[in-house]
Structure 1
Amino acid sequence: MATEAIAVAPTFSANVARETGETTIRLSLQLHGTGEAKLNFPVPFLRHMLHLFAVHGQFDLAIDADGDVDVEDHHLVEDIGLCLGKAIAGALGNKAGIRRYGERHTPMDETLARAVLDLSGRPAFVLQAQFTNERIGTFPTELVAEFFKSVANEGRMALHLAVLYGENNHHMVEGLFKAFGAALREAVSTVDGGVPSSKGVLE
């Protein structure tokens, strides 16, 4: 006979620390916040995107991090994504009383981005976007997928992102981060009832 651990109810806040030979990260997240972002790490474009994520999701997000960016940005970007995903999962506990699903279309000038997510406990990630430049400033556009894949895996969510159309690569990525923040805000909003699953559990 199987036994299951009883997860704690959502607190909507979490702190995550990660230290490896490549990165050191301290992250705190409040999902029911005011949109305040305190971001201290040496990847300027990701700082800009996570500020937008926090504002449009009304999350309080603080990150103090460093890493081997003299090699390239990959390790730090990926590990910040891992920590953010872990914080989301930790803040939601057994997910009782949350909406679970979120969806948002976000225009950014000539670009239209979409984020759809399910806090299902089953990680899945799809990104449909055709970036036309290898870099936005110094930031490699291939790291957009790496970041969101890390968030989805550690956050145990099904995350589907798409740029429906657009021309400017900065606008495309900005639209994705804004849409993700707004969709996650909807998914973590509270509703009456228990765990939003016919199985009675979201693992």
Structure 2
Amino acid sequence: MPGMTPEGRRVHIARIATSDFEDFDYNYFARVIFMVADVYLKSEKLGSAGEVYVLDGENYRLKHLLKLSPIFAKKIFVCTMDALPIKIKEIHIVNPPFVIDSLIAFIKPFMKEKIFNRLHFHKDVTTLHEYISRDFLPEEYGGTAGKLKLHWDKYLAAFEDFKPWLKEQENIKADESKRPGKTTCYEDCFGLHGSFRSLAVD
């Protein structure tokens, strides 16, 4: 969303556009999320004092959850919390799906405790307004900042300018042989290290 909150934070909104789960692919979903993050970080001029995420669970279904593997979930959280140069200050889940308890039980082992404690759930957008001013929310969430689709269309248009840069990023690889100290391997970053044994999903 455009603008910054009085605390100097940016507000980001993500939702699954449709409840159709047949063609839903977490690989593509993650791809889009990280491309959006890359473009945001590349185009950020002022810098921010942190990021506020609003995640809409209205169209999330049990079959979406069943497509999510523990290994893939850990990859997402490692990349988000350890690789991206962002500070997650708040995560707001609006319209939490009925499978929210199972989803939280699934992802909790992969989240840092301080991030997990910044989760807020809202069955009604009115409680969301207690944390985020309507000025920084689209009309779909009771805000005054216009339609969500309008902002998404503007972002997609901006993506066109970043196409060459995004393609260049595909060729950038880490050369672990040049890393000082112990070489970081795939298992160090993305191995479950016993987490799966303690995973409890009802």
The TM-score, its normalising length taken from structure 1, stands at 0.28
- Higher RCO (Cα < 8 Å, 6 or more apart): 1
- Structure with the largest fraction of helix: 2
The TM-score normalised by the length of structure 2 is 0.28
Structure with the largest fraction of strand: 1
Report the structure number with the largest CA radius of gyration: 2
